[in-house]
Structure 1
Amino acid sequence: MSVFCIAEGILPLMVFILIQNGNAEECTKDVYNRYYSCEGRNLTYIPTSIPSSVEKLDFSFNWLPSLQKHLFPPLYDLQVLDLTRCQIQFIADDAFHNVKNVTTLILTGNPISYTSPDGLNSLHKLKRLVLADTGLLSLSVQLNNLTKLQELNVGTNMIQTIALPRFMINFKDFCVLDLHANKISSLKVDHTAVLREMKGNITLKLSSNPILHIEPGAFKDIYLKELNIQSTFVSFDAMRDGLKGLGGLHVGKLLIGLYVVDRSKVIYDANYLDGLCLINFREIYFLQKDFSDSEINVLQCMVNATKIILKRATIGSMHVSFHQLKELYIYRSRMPIVLDLSHLHTLEKLVLNDSKPVYLHGMNDMPKLQHVDLSGNQFNLVDCCSRFFTGMPNIHTLNLSFNSIIYLSNNPFAGLDSIEILDIHLTTLRSLNAQFKFFKSLKRLRYLDISHTDSTFLRTMAFRYLISLKVLKMAGNRFQGDALSYIFKNVTSLERLYLSNCGIQNIDRRAFESLSNLRHLFLSQNKLTVLDFATQSYLKSLTLLDVGMNSIFSIPLHTLKNLPTNLSNLDLSFNPIECSCSQIDFIKWLVNHQQLLRQSANISCKILSQDLNLRVIDFDIEGCVHMRRLTIALCVFAVTFLVFVSLLIYKFQFYLRYGYILLRGYRASRQQEWSYDAFVIYSSKDEAWVMDELVENLENGNPPIHLCLHVRDFEAGKAITSNIIDEGIMGSRKVIVVVSKHFIESSWCRFEFEVAQSWQVMERNANIIIIILEEVEEEKSKKVFGLHKHLKNNTYLKWSGNPINNMTFWIRLRKAVITGN
């Protein structure tokens, strides 16, 4: 191309490209060998391993300073070649000879300084050429042989005029000229001469150019498919005058406005858009990010438009009489809108989104209106909806989602029988008719979304009138009792049902018996623990079942085997799956049916697993096989152990009987009151001391302490062990143990002491009082189980022959018996 200047250093670069080996990673390909990606591989050559059948080659972000004739191997099937940012500076003649069938060539971001006259002209079939950000100075490029060119993208360059070379008049299929973000500041009559003669259905993109002036008549009698002049004018004054300079233009779609907010610029001229009245357009997209203190006359020059899209516009009220408007879109209006759209007989589609506040007045008598979207406006609609849509019998889509509250009348959709799509999700729904009979007029309804509408469904056939319903979304609502068993009785055409996040714990087997055509069932984010309902024969058409994020930890094998045969997508992700060898059959099923499982990577072990990131499909099944073998071995060991234990029971049956009596006594003590203050454990050989000293001082003292002695208080004819438990241990608040040499040698004393210790452990009370009647050697005290340890860890009383010391002894003993439980 002659428009590129010759730069110094070309020869060294050519030498470099010839000697460079280009050690780089291999390119990646798709499964059909039709697409290869070599993006960012540090390549300095085109790999010969790329097959000649390749149709698309992404070679962007590599190093090709010079494109020579034999750089490309023969790739005659190649259609798309992407050479973005390959540091290309030089393009030789016939550089693309071996890829001459390319239809799309992308050279974005290359610092091209010179192109030979026939550098690109071998691309006779080229339809799309992208030369964005290449430093291009003008449109006078050597493209005269590219007669099939349809799109030329020269955005983000240094071009200062839109003047096209005259040879482009012969480009019969040319339809897109992208000149965005260049340096074009002036548009004159002679600049558009070629464009006027082409008389094609051309899209011209001039966005983000610093236009100061458009000469009147520059676009007179020119026909464009689309003109984009967004963020084009340097000021509001330039925009006002520039729109007037576009007078006489015929354009299908006009895009104007600003991309970026400039808070320092404020519109003071409410009529700065008057020049639009001189432009003949069918569709207009107006993005207004600037500011104004007052209402701007946005709509007055749009009366002949068939489609209007307004975003962030300061509209105010709408009282314009549109002549042929079919579609009206208003997004995020900056000012309160007062809608008065009555008698727009041509309007077919109305979209009003995220505009607050909106006041509806006079929306009636629009017989052709079919699509209404009033979502995201925080409406509070009272007595909805017939009175808002009077005289609109052909509405088939009504979207009232993302609003505040809608109060439905008794028959809210009277006269709106044509509605096929109704969306009210995320809008609080209130109705005088709690049984949802207000749907009875909507027999053509195919799609209904009432998700998150704060609704509660009762045991009624809530959707009995919706005989044509295919899709029902009711996530985030509530069901009273077993309402699920009734509400779908007559919805026989339903194919997709959404019941996520409804707090559902159980689903009766009858819940979906009328839904034989149901294909997709969404039950995620509930509290389900079983899937029994999914095994019913009437769900034979089910292909997708989503029960993710429930409380399912296991599924019996018989349930899995009886799932619908057509099921091809099952989502069990984020359930608390139990990963243990007891669930080996379930886990094996999951591993063997990964092609069925949706998001199998998100089915993780949540129960009995220390690793919370362990996927179920990675569970160690082989370890469970070894565990089963170990279980068999343990069973054999258990049988052997039981035989051994039986022998021990036979040998030590006395001690077991002792334990049984002790346990029986403990249970009975819960309901038995004490008969004695203390039970005395002593050897019969120490009976004289017990009777003369202990009984005398305690029972005859003040207050008297009632002692239990085996010689006088045990019941005659009753087993000694039973007397010890019933009368002694359980019938007394405290136990007094008289330790002597005779006590150590007595088996009955040792038995009574052991029982008393066991009872103390069960009752958790310090109820044993030790009296050392005479010194006992430490080794001998160990003959009595627990005695030596008790003496080391607890305070005891010691008897002496000294009368003074004995006085203290009786005071302490009496206090120990009386205090505590």
Structure 2
Amino acid sequence: MMKFLFYTLKHSDYHRVSLTLNQTLLLRYCSCNMTAYCKIGGLFIYILFFLVQHGIGEECTQIKKHGQYSCEGRNLTYIPTSLPSSVKILDFSFNFLPTLKRSVFPQLNDLQHLDLTRCHIHHIADDAFLNMKNLTTLILTGNPVSYFGPDSLNVLHKLHRLVLMDSGLYSLNIRFNNLTKLQELNIGTNNIQSMALPPFMIHFEDFNLLDLHANNISILKVSDTNILQQMKGNLTLILSRNPILHIEPGAFQNMYLRELNIRNAFASLDAQRDGLKALSGLNVGKLVIGNYIENFMLKTSDGDLNGLCLINFEEIDSLCAGWSASELQCIVNATKISIERGNVRAIENVPFQGVKELRIVANIPVSLELSHLETLETLVAIQTNYIYIVGISDMPRLQHIDLSQNRVHITDCCENYFKRMPNIRSLNLSNNGNIYLSNNPFSGLSSLEVLDFHQTTLKGLATKFELFKKLQNLKYLDISYTDFTFWSTVSFGSLNRLKVLKMAGNHFQEDALSYLFENLTSVEYIDISNCEIDSIAWRTFKDLPRLQQLLLNQNRLMVLDFVTHPNLKDLRLLEVHTNNIASIPLNILQNLPKNLTVLDLSFNPIDCSCSQINFILWITSHQQIFPKKNNILCKSQSLGSRHKTIDFDVESCERIRRFTIVTSICAVVLLVLASFLAYRFQFYLRYGYILLKGYRTSRQQEWSYDAFVIYSSKDECWVMDELVENLENGIPPIHLCLHVRDFEAGKAITSNIIDEGIMGSRKIIVVVSKHFTDSSWCRFEFEVAQSWLVTQGNPNIIIIILEDVEEEKTKKVFGLHKHLKKNTYLKWSSNPINNTRFWIRLRKAVIT
């Protein structure tokens, strides 16, 4: 508890602190026992009174522009000073204001409506409302007010409506004589025992409503109604839910009331019977009688409502009342009759004289056969199970018929049931059973403007290709969920005045939808939701230039290209929620109707991938046209992890796009660089390829030569005259591989070097000269040979220095300079003695 109080203290407002009272209470509490417990308890009481004085709730919030604020249920104990002085409507209900005085309210000169429902008000001081003299509505419902200051209400000269419901009042002994502009006084749900009004209310010229419902009024005397008799306004008097036992005859004699509500106002059926008779001479515009459903009383005998014959009324509204044939005679002069949850089995023999509107709602099973009611304009018989419609005929002024929600089954509808009634403008047969259409169902109903069959199974519609042909004036047609399948032969083309067409929950065969709306040039609203439509042809809406609202919800659509048709330029609302739309191409979005202000894409499997970034950006930038933007969800494999499209991370796509661009540029640069390097070092690449190829096949070949000679063609004379002569003609003879002699004709030079030269020979003899270092082929052959022999692990290269070569030139050949530094080589000399030793050493090097 202490934790809670400290928490609420933290969130409270600290205006108008009264430390003296709190300190006094704390000292008195702790004077009894200065123990630790007493100190904790004293602190508890201190905080409690602090919170009571200063409130523990949040401030008020503006709920509408133009000065409407709500502080409902904030646990406030004061009117927040943060409220602007321009506030006009203030809901301060369900707070804590035990005492109303001027200091409670800031100056609110513009305040017109104040609701203080259930604020625990006990005391209202004289100056309570001085800071809000322009009030027109004051609601004090549910406050146990024990004291009203003598002039507390009298300062409200402009008050029109005063509500003191459930305030514990026992009488109207309250001074409000200055409220001469008062129009409504609601003092229901109190303990008032008399409906007598104060004499000063005679001067309330605009007074028009007195609500005394749910009080304790048991007797109505003539003296109680004297003031009402003298008030000349069109007064509404509500006496419902009072335990009336007796009404003194003459109490309402020659009185006129706009409305009298005596529903459930009598303590018994006997009191009701006598009370209705005591209302003799009353003139009332609307009489509300009957019983609420929870207190429904069964009739015990006929005649309980015969007293109605003594009352002059224009309109009667009956709830849960039983009617006998004789009692119905008492209402024949009424112009508007409403019987709800009643007991009327048949009304065909009731001689209604001037009835204009007849409503029968939730009645027990009734036989409906009406004719020759020449004044009837509206007939409503709804929510009546198993109504039996015999026929309705010969009522020339009848314009509106509502027979919905009756589970009715009709055969040969509708010409046989509605005869000789040329002025019928609306016919509602919705929410019924099966209705079988006749061959010419709407003959004689050419004035129909509204026709409603929704949620009623229509039979025979498929064969009536021109059943609507005669309804030239029809403006509203609802055949939704009628279990009908449309074929291409069905058309609404003759309904050239039709504005609203609802046909949701039906089916279309083949291309029927493409031809269904031909010539409907006046249609403004079409609903074809839940029809399992997976595609719509471009030409479907070509004849609908005035179409403003199109509903295609709960279908299987994947594309919306048809919306860009030029004839849909006036389209303002498009609903396609719960379809299969994953994305809309940019060219479609750019060509949507210019007047489109509402687009419902909710509950579609939107593709939230970077490939649809244009579509997602369009949704984000046009959120104002999406009424359910939080229900536009991204497609996901997991049902529990779907995200809002408007929350999609567009920046991640931008990062991916930038990364892709950079990667692509890098790839192109690398490709160009690789191409350049390949071209620049094509020789070495080819060399590497040949080397690899040779390595893979080396172990599968046998040597064909003892040595492969690498030399420059400019040194060919020495090679042929000296090298070949001494090695091949010596003993034993050494078989040399020479490119000029032993390479296979037609074969690539590089392949010959590898296959015949390097791989086909045990040793490699390199003749180094100035010409050798200048030859690219010589350099290539040496590098390949060197790399090859390194992989083999055998020192099989024999170097012959044919002539002195500058060190710089030897460095031009990759690995030659290093090889000469680390390995023994032979040097040719023109001295014969030295040459003899040369040949011996060379032959030995080749053979071993």
TM exceeding 0.5? yes
Q: Distance in 2 between matches of 1:405 and 1:323?
A: 34
Kindly report the root-mean-square deviation, in angstroms, between the aligned alpha carbons of the 2 structures: 2.8
Residue in structure 2 matching 1:235, options 260, 265, 268: 268
Deviation string 1:261-300 (CA, Å, 9 cap, x unpaired) is: 347x5322132111111111111111017xx7x9675522
Q: What amino acid is the match of 1:322?
A: F
Alignment match, 1:726: none
Q: Distance in 2 between matches of 1:375 and 1:652?
A: 92
Residue in structure 2 matching 1:321, options 338, 343, 351: 351
Residue in structure 1 matching 2:302, options 266, 270, 274: 270
Q: What amino acid is the match of 1:280?
A: N
Contact 1:17 1:44 in 2 (8 A): no
Between 567-576 and 232-241, report the one with greater CA deviation.
232-241
Q: Distance in 2 between matches of 1:425 and 1:19?
A: 58
Identity over aligned pairs, percent = 57
Contact 1:371 1:398 in 2 (8 A): yes
Alignment match, 1:281: 313
Q: Distance in 1 between matches of 2:294 and 2:690?
A: 95
Confirm whether residue 488 of structure 1 aligns to residue 517 of structure 2: yes
Alignment match, 1:332: 362
Contact 1:439 1:465 in 2 (8 A): yes
Alignment match, 2:246: 213
Tell me which stretches of 4 or more aligned residues in structure 1 moved more than 4 Å: 15-19, 294-298, 608-611, 632-644, 646-654
Between 153-162 and 410-419, report the one with greater CA deviation.
410-419
Contact 2:52 2:77 in 1 (8 A): no
Deviation string 1:165-214 (CA, Å, 9 cap, x unpaired) is: 11111111110000011111111211111111113211011111111121
Match runs of 1:97-246 below 5 Å? 97-246=130-279
Residue in structure 2 matching 1:475, options 479, 491, 504: 504
Contact 1:461 1:489 in 2 (8 A): no
Q: Distance in 2 between matches of 1:19 and 1:122?
A: 29
| Change in 2 beyond 3 A, CA 1:433/1:574 | closer
Contact 2:335 2:356 in 1 (8 A): yes
Question: How far off is 1:46 after superposition?
Answer: 2.1
Alignment match, 1:542: 571
Contact 1:326 1:346 in 2 (8 A): yes
Alignment match, 1:83: 116
Alignment match, 1:347: 376
Q: Distance in 2 between matches of 1:611 and 1:396?
A: 51
Match runs of 1:291-302 below 5 Å? 298-302=327-331
Confirm whether residue 577 of structure 1 aligns to residue 606 of structure 2: yes
Q: Distance in 1 between matches of 2:451 and 2:508?
A: 21
| Change in 2 beyond 3 A, CA 1:206/1:627 | same
SS of match in other structure, 2:581: coil
Between 514-523 and 295-304, report the one with greater CA deviation.
295-304
Match runs of 1:745-784 below 5 Å? none
Match runs of 1:3-18 below 5 Å? none
| Change in 2 beyond 3 A, CA 1:247/1:590 | same
Contact 2:461 2:484 in 1 (8 A): no
Deviation string 1:608-644 (CA, Å, 9 cap, x unpaired) is: 6786331011011111222234445665798889999
Alignment match, 1:95: 128
SS of match in other structure, 1:300: helix
Alignment match, 2:450: 421
SS of match in other structure, 1:582: helix
Deviation string 1:402-427 (CA, Å, 9 cap, x unpaired) is: 11111112221111111111101111
| Change in 2 beyond 3 A, CA 1:341/1:610 | closer
SS of match in other structure, 1:586: helix
Question: How far off is 1:69 after superposition?
Answer: 3.0
Contact 2:208 2:235 in 1 (8 A): yes
SS of match in other structure, 2:624: coil
Contact 2:99 2:123 in 1 (8 A): yes
Contact 1:311 1:330 in 2 (8 A): yes
SS of match in other structure, 2:635: strand
Q: Distance in 2 between matches of 1:220 and 1:653?
A: 127
Question: How far off is 1:225 after superposition?
Answer: 0.7
Question: How far off is 1:44 after superposition?
Answer: 2.3
| Change in 2 beyond 3 A, CA 1:650/1:412 | farther
Alignment match, 1:51: 84
Aligned length: 636
Deviation string 1:321-377 (CA, Å, 9 cap, x unpaired) is: 01100000001112x211222100000000010112222234111000011001111
| Change in 2 beyond 3 A, CA 1:422/1:652 | farther
Question: How far off is 1:52 after superposition?
Answer: 2.1
Deviation string 1:121-171 (CA, Å, 9 cap, x unpaired) is: 011111100001110011232111111111000011000011111111111
Q: Distance in 2 between matches of 1:354 and 1:192?
A: 39
Alignment match, 2:494: 465
Q: Which runs of 5+ in 1 are unaligned?
A: 1-11, 655-821
Question: How far off is 1:650 after superposition?
Answer: 11
Between 496-505 and 90-99, report the one with greater CA deviation.
90-99
Question: How far off is 1:551 after superposition?
Answer: 0.7
Contact 1:30 1:36 in 2 (8 A): yes
Alignment match, 1:41: 74
Q: Distance in 2 between matches of 1:601 and 1:649?
A: 63
Q: Distance in 2 between matches of 1:632 and 1:433?
A: 60
Q: Which runs of 5+ in 2 are unaligned?
A: 1-20, 26-48, 676-684, 695-848
Deviation string 1:562-589 (CA, Å, 9 cap, x unpaired) is: 1111111111100111121222221111
Contact 1:35 1:57 in 2 (8 A): yes
SS of match in other structure, 2:281: coil
Alignment match, 1:497: 526
Alignment match, 1:671: none
Alignment match, 1:358: 387
Question: How far off is 1:549 after superposition?
Answer: 0.4
SS of match in other structure, 2:646: helix
Question: Which has the higher Rg, Structure 1 or Structure 2?
Answer: 2
Contact 2:329 2:351 in 1 (8 A): no
Q: What amino acid is the match of 2:99?
A: S
Contact 1:149 1:174 in 2 (8 A): yes
SS of match in other structure, 1:559: helix
SS of match in other structure, 1:452: coil
Q: Distance in 1 between matches of 2:238 and 2:336?
A: 20
Q: Distance in 1 between matches of 2:529 and 2:471?
A: 24
Q: Distance in 2 between matches of 1:256 and 1:652?
A: 110
Q: Distance in 1 between matches of 2:664 and 2:101?
A: 81
Between 460-469 and 393-402, report the one with greater CA deviation.
460-469
Q: Distance in 2 between matches of 1:164 and 1:391?
A: 53
Contact 2:579 2:604 in 1 (8 A): yes
Confirm whether residue 625 of structure 1 aligns to residue 635 of structure 2: no
Question: How far off is 1:461 after superposition?
Answer: 5.6
SS of match in other structure, 1:98: coil
Alignment match, 1:26: 59
Question: How far off is 1:20 after superposition?
Answer: 3.0
Confirm whether residue 521 of structure 1 aligns to residue 550 of structure 2: yes
Contact 2:293 2:320 in 1 (8 A): no
Q: What amino acid is the match of 1:183?
A: N
